[in-house]
Structure 1
Amino acid sequence: MRLLKQSFEKDRSGSVTLVPQDKEDLWQCYNLIQKNDEIKLSTHRNIKKASGGGLTGGKEKGKQERKVLTLRVSVEDIEYLPSEDVMRIRGKTTEPNEFVPLQSYHTAEIELQKSFTLYKEDWDEVSFEIISKACSIEEKAEVGAIVLEDGVAHLCLVTDNMTVLRNKIEKSIPRKRRGEGGGGSHDKALTKFYEMVSTTVFRNFDLEKLKAIIIASPGFAASSLLDTLNTMATRENNKIFFQNKSKFIVAHSSTGYLQGLEEVLKDPSIQKSLSNTKFAREASAFEEFQKVLNEDDGRAWYGASEAEKALNMGAVRCLMLTDSLFRSDDISIRKHYIKLTEDAKGQGVEVLVFSSLHESGEQLNQLTGIAVLLKYPIVDLDELEEE
C-alpha cells in the first residue's frame, strides 16, 4: 500500500489518501474502512443525456452516457471477496456534484493501483496500526529470505505478493588452489563471507517479527551459512536467534541470485512449510487452548464476559481475538475491543489477532471470536458476579 497524503486534527478526525497495490492491501482496506466513514474516489456513473444534448442527473428522458466522476460517499455497506481484485463500497453522496444529486445512492469500487481518500471522525489505534503495517514493507513482510552462492548473497523481505531486495553482499573469493589445505585463502575468504552475511542478517532481520526465514543456495552454501549463524549466535550469546532458530528453512536453488528465490517460492513443499510457519504461533496457541479447554481445569475460557473478568483479575496469559471483532458496524463495539487489547498489552499479556481467512481464525470465530489462556485456574469464571 502506498500512502500519498495524510491530514489529522487534534480531535483525531482526518483523512489519508492511499493506493492499494495488491490483494493483501485490499484485505487491509476491508479491515480499515468502517460504516459511516467517507470515501472520495474516481468512479463511473451512468448519466442521462437530456434531449437538448446536455447532461443531467435527473429523471428527464434521454440516452445514458457512462461518465467518470469524482464522488465523496458515506459508507453504508462494504462487499469484498478475497478472490477478487476490487472491493465495492455503497452509500450516499455527501458533496454536491454537477451530475449527481446530493444524498444519491452510489456503488463505487476500490481498485488496485487507483487512489482513494478515506475520511474518519475518529482515527483509533487499530486504524493507525493497519495503515502502518500496510504501508511499511518491514511491517508487512512475514518472510525473510537469503539466497546466496559463493561470494554473493541477497537478503530479501517477502510478502504474499512481492519480494523486496534489502541488502546485497559481495566478496571476492579466490579459487581453491590444487593441494590447498583447510586454512587456505579460498576457505578463509569463504568463512569471512559467511560471517559478513550473518552480521547483516542479525542487523537487518527482525527475527521475532518474521514468521519464517528461507536460506537458499546451490550446493552447501545455505547449510554453511546456517552453521555460521549458529556459531556467531553462540559466541555472542544471541538468545533471540536461538528462540527463533526453528523459523529457518534451508532450501536448494539453482542460483544464488533472485531467480533462485523465485524458484524456491514455487516449490510446493516450501509453500507448505511457509504456510505452517507463518501461522505457527496462532495455531500453536489455539491448539494449546483446545487442549486445556478439554482438560476442564479452569485455565481456558472463551466469551467476551469471561475474558474481561479474567483480564480485570490480572489472570490472563494469552488473549486471542479474531479480526472480525474489529470490523463491527457498531463503533462502540469496535472501540470496546480496541480498549480491551490495549489494556491487555498494558498488563504484559500476549495478544494474538487471528485472521478470519485462516483455519484457526474460523474456529475461534465459532467460539465467539475471543478466548483466553490463564496463568492459573479459575473455576466457574462464567458464574462469578462483577463486584
Structure 2
Amino acid sequence: MRIIQEDKKKGVIELIPETLDDLWHLSHIIEEGDLVSSKTTRRIQDTSGERIRRDRGVKKTFYLGIRVESVKFHRYTGKLRATGTIEKGPEDLVPLGSHHTIEIKLNTPLRIKKETWSKWALRRLKDAIESSKRLYAIILALEDYTADIGLIRQYGIEYYGPIIGGIPGKRIQTKDRRKKIIQFYEKIIEAIKNLKGIELIVIAGPGFTKTDFHSYLKEKHPKLAKISIIESTGTGGRVGIQEVLKKGTIERAATENRIAKEIRNVNEVLEKIAKSSDLIAYGEKEVTEAANMGAIKKLLIIDKLVSEKETLLDLVENMGGEIILISSEHEGGKQLEALGGIAATLRFKIH
C-alpha cells in the first residue's frame, strides 16, 4: 500500500493498493457512508443520433465517486467491489444518484473520504504500508548453474547476481563436479542469508536444477527449505523472475502466509479451551472482564467486529496487550466467530 496524498482536515486519503492483502485490508477500512472515488469503466449508450444504437453502447473510462452502501471482497477471485450511489462524475455520462459498483484494482489510485478516520482504520492502513516496505520475498531463478535473485521491494524489483557456478558439462559425472555444485549452492545460500526478514523464497527455473537445489536445502538448510516453494518457468535470469511475477505467485503466497499465521493463533486458543485452561477467555463478557483487569496477553478479534469494539481494543493496547485481527474469510476465522468473534490468552487467572 502506498499513500499518495493525505488531507486530515478534510478526512481524505488517496492511496494505491499494491497487493491482494492490501485489497483485503481495504475491504475493512472502507465502510458504509464513505465517499470512494476511482477510475471506473462503464458502458455508455450512444443516443446522439435519431435512433438509439442497437448495440450495447461504448465503454468509457472516467473518474467516479460513490457514497458507499456495501463492500465485498471476493476471496477466490481477489476482487474488491464497493457499491453505492454516484455523487461525483461527468453528468453527461452518468446520472448522479444512480447506483454503481466500483471495482478497486491493484496499482490504481483510490480516494477515500470519511467523516472521521478511526484510530483502528488508520492503524490498519499503517500496517499495510509497513508490510509493503519489508523485503518479504525473493525469487531465485536457476538455469545451467547460473543464479539470479530478484528482491521484491515496494518500489519494484532489485536484482542481485548473476552467481556463476562454473560447473563441468553434464556428461562428466564425477565427485569433483558434485563438489563444485555444492560450492555453487552454498554461494547462493550465503547471499540469501545476508538478506534480512525474508519469509518466502520462490525457486524458479526451467530444468532440474531448481528441484536439486531445493532437495539440498531440505538436507542441509531445513529452515530455508521451510520457507521455499518451487515454480517452473520457461527460462532463468531476469526473464524467469518476471515470469514468476506475472503468474502472481508472490501475492498468493503472501496471502496464504498471513492466513496460516492467523489460523495458528486461533488453534492456540482452541487448544487452551480443549485443555480447560484458566488462562483463556472468549466471548464478549469474559474478554471485557479480562480487559478491565489488565489480564489480556493476546487478543484475537474477528475483522468484522473491529469498528464496534474500538474502546475495548484501546483498553487492551493501553494495558500492554497484543491485538491480532483475524479474517472471517477462512476456517480459523469461522472457528473464532463461533466463540463470539473474540478471544484472549491471559497473563493470569481472572476467576
When the two structures are superposed, what TM-score results if normalisation uses the length of structure 2?
A: 0.68
**C-alpha displacement of 1:69:** 6.5
Q: Give the 3 Å change call, closer, same or farther, for CA 229–126 of structure 1 in structure 2.
A: farther
Matched, 1:363 2:335: yes
**C-alpha displacement of 1:95:** 9.3
Q: Check conservation: 2:140, 2:241, Cα contact below 8 A.
A: no
Q: What residue number does 1:32 align with? A: 29
Matched, 1:291 2:284: no
Q: 2:284 aligns with which of 295, 299, 304?
A: 304
**C-alpha displacement of 1:6:** 0.9
Per-residue CA distance 1:180-205 (angstroms, 9 max, x = gap): 976x9x957963x5455334423434
Distance in 2 (CA, whole Å) between partners of 1:109 and 1:96 is 15
Distance in 1 (CA, whole Å) between partners of 2:218 and 2:243 is 20
Q: Give the 3 Å change call, closer, same or farther, for CA 355–166 of structure 1 in structure 2.
A: farther
Q: Give the 3 Å change call, closer, same or farther, for CA 262–158 of structure 1 in structure 2.
A: farther
Per-residue CA distance 1:184-240 (angstroms, 9 max, x = gap): 9x957963x545533442343414xx3x5455643533344567767xxxxxxxxxx
Matched, 1:373 2:345: yes
**C-alpha displacement of 1:373:** 1.5
Letter in 2 for 1:34: E
Distance in 2 (CA, whole Å) between partners of 1:110 and 1:126 is 24
Q: Check conservation: 1:320, 1:372, Cα contact below 8 A.
A: yes
- Aligned residue pairs total 328
Q: What residue number does 2:142 align with? A: 148
Matched, 1:121 2:115: yes
Matched, 1:90 2:81: no
Letter in 2 for 1:118: I
Tell me the SS of whatever aligns to 1:307: helix
Q: Check conservation: 1:78, 1:90, Cα contact below 8 A.
A: no
Q: Give the 3 Å change call, closer, same or farther, for CA 310–145 of structure 1 in structure 2.
A: farther
Tell me the SS of whatever aligns to 2:272: helix
* Gaps in structure 2 of 5+ consecutive residues: 51-56
* Gaps in structure 1 of 5+ consecutive residues: 53-63, 231-243, 267-271, 380-387
**C-alpha displacement of 1:371:** 0.3
**C-alpha displacement of 1:18:** 3.5
Matched, 1:74 2:67: yes
Q: Check conservation: 1:325, 1:337, Cα contact below 8 A.
A: no
**C-alpha displacement of 1:364:** 0.7
Q: 2:310 aligns with which of 335, 360, 370?
A: 335
With 283-292 and 76-85 compared, the bigger mean Cα shift is at 76-85
With 370-379 and 14-23 compared, the bigger mean Cα shift is at 14-23
When the two structures are superposed, what TM-score results if normalisation uses the length of structure 1?
A: 0.63
Distance in 1 (CA, whole Å) between partners of 2:266 and 2:68 is 34
Q: What residue number does 1:61 align with? A: none
Letter in 2 for 1:286: V
Distance in 2 (CA, whole Å) between partners of 1:170 and 1:119 is 46
Counting only pairs closer than 5 Å after superposition, residues 239-258 of structure 1 correspond to structure 2 as 247-249=226-228, 251=230, 257=237
Q: Check conservation: 1:39, 1:119, Cα contact below 8 A.
A: yes
**C-alpha displacement of 1:106:** 3.5
**C-alpha displacement of 1:122:** 3.1
Counting only pairs closer than 5 Å after superposition, residues 219-230 of structure 1 correspond to structure 2 as 220-224=212-216
With 169-178 and 134-143 compared, the bigger mean Cα shift is at 134-143
**C-alpha displacement of 1:280:** 3.5
Q: What residue number does 1:324 align with? A: 304
Q: Give the 3 Å change call, closer, same or farther, for CA 126–213 of structure 1 in structure 2.
A: farther
